[in-house]
């Protein structure tokens, strides 16, 4: 892993180099040419996840795909994950879950999301992902600028301080319409909850039908689960952080 200053310099250089590159070109550099070291795709198998999953399957079906099962996901998401993984022929799909002992100690009755949602996300999402990424030099995310909030200034490549990894956001400048067009053009099955009005799909207790990410953590001062912020560290905090 690179030191912080070298990592930032490298990310800056890479952003300049790939500024005009297509998403598939960035993915090929990561997965086929090995320019970023050992790289994994992290996927929620959510509303727009099929785009990157399809691209990655076209480049290398042996690419590690990390899926975080918080054990609070919609049944439809779990079924979609199995069906889409099989359809695309993904050969290294890894399901990450929270440590059973930590769950028993910190959320024994499964209600932590009601009182301390940030702590719940840290326990069920950030911690398992941090462990799952330990062997990798870089990882791929499906975040996009149009999704708003902290994502509006999203770079194609980021220096993940605290871990020494590079994070790739190949679809950063894609619009919702471009994403939908890709899914339609490649005849990829949509997540079944999209037809029910879910624009963004997370854990069942914390997601309602709404446009974009507006249905996530409604009524709370919270817009992110924590796996993309916090300098790679698991941060436990109260509701709304």
CATH, residue 103: 3.40.50.620
Q: What is the pLDDT of residues 29-88, one digit of tens each?
A: 999 988 899 999 999 999 999 999 999 999 999 999 999 999 999 999 999 999 999 999
**pLDDT band (50, 70, 90) for residue 239:** very low
Number of structural domains the chain divides into: 1
Residue 101 phi/psi, 5-degree rounding, is -70, -40
DSSP 140-175: E----GGG-GGGTT--SEEEETTTTEEEE-TTTT--
pLDDT band at 19 (very low <50, low <70, confident <90, very high): confident
- On whether residue 231 sits in a domain, the answer given is no
Give yes or no for a contact between 136 and 165, defined as CB atoms under 8 angstroms apart: yes
Name the catalytic one among 121, 203, 206, 225: 225
State yes or no: pLDDT of 3 exceeds 70. no
Question: 22: how many CB neighbours lie within 10 A of its CB?
Answer: 10
Q: What percent of the chain has pLDDT over 70?
A: 85
pLDDT of residue 157: 92
Can you give the residue range of the structural domain that contains 159? Answer: 4-215
CA distance 83 to 79: 6
Q: 179 to each of 54, 133, 190, how far by Cα in Å? A: 12, 26, 11
Kindly state the DSSP code that residue 219 receives in the 8-state scheme.
T
For residue 189, tell me if it sits in a domain.
yes
For residue 206, indicate whether it is catalytic: no
The span from the CA of 93 to the CA of 62, in Å, is: 9
Say if 225 falls within a structural domain.
no
What confidence score (pLDDT) does residue 59 get? 97
Share of the chain above pLDDT 90, in %: 64
Would you tell me how many other CB atoms lie within 10 Å of the CB of residue 42? 22
Whether 11 contacts 149, CB under 8 Å: no
Residue 222, domain member (yes or no):
no
Instruction: Please indicate, yes or no, if residue 235 is contained in any of the structural domains.
Output: no
pLDDT digits (tens, 9 = 90+) for 158-208: 988 788 899 999 999 999 999 999 999 999 999 999 999 998 899 999 998
* pLDDT (0 to 100) of residue 147: 78
Q: Is residue 194 part of a domain?
A: yes
């Amino acid at each position: 892993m690179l030191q912080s200053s070298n990592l930032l310099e490298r990310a800056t250089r890479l952003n300049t180099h790939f500024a005009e590159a297509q998403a598939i070109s960035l993915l090929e550099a990561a997965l086929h040419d090995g320019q970023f070291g050992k790289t994994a795709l992290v996927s929620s198998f959510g509303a727009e996840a099929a785009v990157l999953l399809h691209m990655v399957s076209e480049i290398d079906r042996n690419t590690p795909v990390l899926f975080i099962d918080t054990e609070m996901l919609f049944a439809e998401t779990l079924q979609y994950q199995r069906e889409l993984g099989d359809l695309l022929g993904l050969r290294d799909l890894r399901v990450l879950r929270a440590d059973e002992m930590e769950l028993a100690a910190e959320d024994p009755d499964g209600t932590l999301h009601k009182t301390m949602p940030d702590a719940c996300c840290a326990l069920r999402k950030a911690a398992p992902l941090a462990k799952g990424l330990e062997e990798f030099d870089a990882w791929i995310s499906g975040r996009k600028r149009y999704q708003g909030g902290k994502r509006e200034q999203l770079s194609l490549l980021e220096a993940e301080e605290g871990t020494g990894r590079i994070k790739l956001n190949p679809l950063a400048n894609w619009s919702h319409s471009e994403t939908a067009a890709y899914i339609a053009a490649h005849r990829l099955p949509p997540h079944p909850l999209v037809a029910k009005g879910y624009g963004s799909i997370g854990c069942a207790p914390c997601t309602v039908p709404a446009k974009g990410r507006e249905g996530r953590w409604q009524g709370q001062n919270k817009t992110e689960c924590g796996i993309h912020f916090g300098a790679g560290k698991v941060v436990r905090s109260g509701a709304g952080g």
